[in-house]
Amino acid sequence: MQKLKDKVVAITGASSGIGEATALLLAQSGAKVVLGARRSDRLEALAKRIVDAGGDAAFAVTDVTQRSDLVRLVTLARDRFGQLDVLLSNAGIAPISRLDELRVDDWEAMIDVNLKGLLFGIAAALPVFRQQGFGHFVNVASTSGIVTTPTMAVYSATKMGVRAISEGLRQEAGPSLRVTIISPGFVQTGLANSMTNPEMKAQINNKMTEIAISPDAIARAIAFAIEQPPEVDVNEIIVRPTAQS
């Protein structure tokens, strides 16, 4: 992965799961990572782990529902490392439930984090990428953005939205900017922690125990997309457990 050396990559949702795994893999490969998430203690510990291993890392507490936080994360990347090569929009939540339960607060939270958080990241990074003349958006969707199942209606809608926004961005991006959609299936992450329905939370945790793959698998897919030559744009990668239907 020599082509990752000195790439500057900002990551939202970096404190655990796919974000953490990707930060570690990219840093081990010589990239400079800029970590964003809400939990400052985990961010600090991850950054220290990377630096202690000889890598380069910076971090900023980042709530993707706050546009100013995304601007601060992008600014930190440029101030610390001189540029921004990649924005990995990974932060997401999934408080799933049947629509009859009318968990409207959960619906709004998914829209705020999964959709508006993505858009705020684009708003922060796109002018920078235009000014630089290069840049790469890597947006984490889900296999739920491809197929909708019961209890997943709103979550699925937000992830379909991620794919729609990403495809529109790709078509508008022109010859110098790249856009990649990463659609994971069941992955061993803390995503179920955001679920407010105890039955759904238990069901998803059980499914994860049965078939979920390591977040390292998704990190490798992300690294593959980033390390391609500038003229190669990997548009979408779907990674799911072999056992997932």
Give how many domains the chain has, as a whole number. Answer: 1
pLDDT digit string, tens, across residues 119-172: 999 999 999 999 999 999 999 999 999 999 999 999 999 999 999 999 999 999
Residue 17 is assigned to a structural domain of this protein: yes
Residue 197, domain CATH: 3.40.50.720
155 is annotated as an active-site residue: yes
pLDDT of residue 118: 98
pLDDT of residue 245: 82
Cβ proximity of 96 and 152 under 8 Å = yes
Q: What is the mean pLDDT of residues 77-99?
A: 97
Q: Confidence class of residue 200 from pLDDT cuts 50, 70 and 90?
A: confident
**Among 59, 81, 129, 155, the one annotated catalytic:** 155
Residue 76 is assigned to a structural domain of this protein: yes
Q: Confidence class of residue 1 from pLDDT cuts 50, 70 and 90?
A: low
- Whole-number Å distance between alpha carbons of 163 and 159: 6
pLDDT of residue 191: 80
**Residue 209, Cβ density class (10 Å: 0-12 exposed, 13-18 middle, ≥19 buried):** exposed
Residue 120 is assigned to a structural domain of this protein: yes
pLDDT digit string, tens, across residues 159-190: 999 999 999 999 999 999 999 999 999 999 88
Residue 244 is assigned to a structural domain of this protein: no
pTM for this predicted structure:
0.95
Residue 245 is assigned to a structural domain of this protein: no
